Structure 1
Amino acid sequence: MSSTTSLNIDGMSADEKIEHINLLREIIRLKEQSGTGFSSQNNGNKKRNIISGTVMSIIFVTCFVLVVAMAFYSFRTLYLAIQKKFPTPHSEL
């Protein structure tokens, strides 16, 4: 696997790696303080989503209730059709 970075990390000593990490942390901290960092940019561009979790929950519950109601109606209709096709004989009359 070839690496296209300009920094040879494998050839660096442990102290050089620690110094490089500390330098990157300092750069990130300075960017966040100045307002040009990634976290500051995301906060300003955050749009409110139209479909929130509450709306999705309501839609899911509504669909679930409709499916259960249709299943109940279908089985009830099937039961009544079977009862009509094969009535139970009454011997008391």
Structure 2
Amino acid sequence: MVLSELLTNAVRHARVSPGREIETRFVRVGDGVRIEVHDADDRWPVAREMGADAPGGRGLLLVAALADVWDVAPREGVGKVVWAEVRVPGAT
């Protein structure tokens, strides 16, 4: 679900032209995994509180609730990477 929300956010909100890549990476970190979504938009996402009847806008709030930590960092050159780390029980 974390990957789905990060990708959906990039597709809906990042100003990425058709044909430009949105890249995903998965990195093993300690006892879990770091999920990264890279795009060419320099604007950083903002988590917003939405009303109970709002049809959407909860993606980053879900990421914050499900991930152990998440953040945004600039990419070398252009764009950003939005990442989240999730512990995997039993991983060694």
Larger Rg: 1
Q: TM-score, normalised by structure 2?
A: 0.18
Q: TM-score, normalised by structure 1?
A: 0.18
Q: Which has the higher contact order (CA 8 A, sep 6+)?
A: 2
Q: Specify which structure has the higher proportion of strand.
A: 2
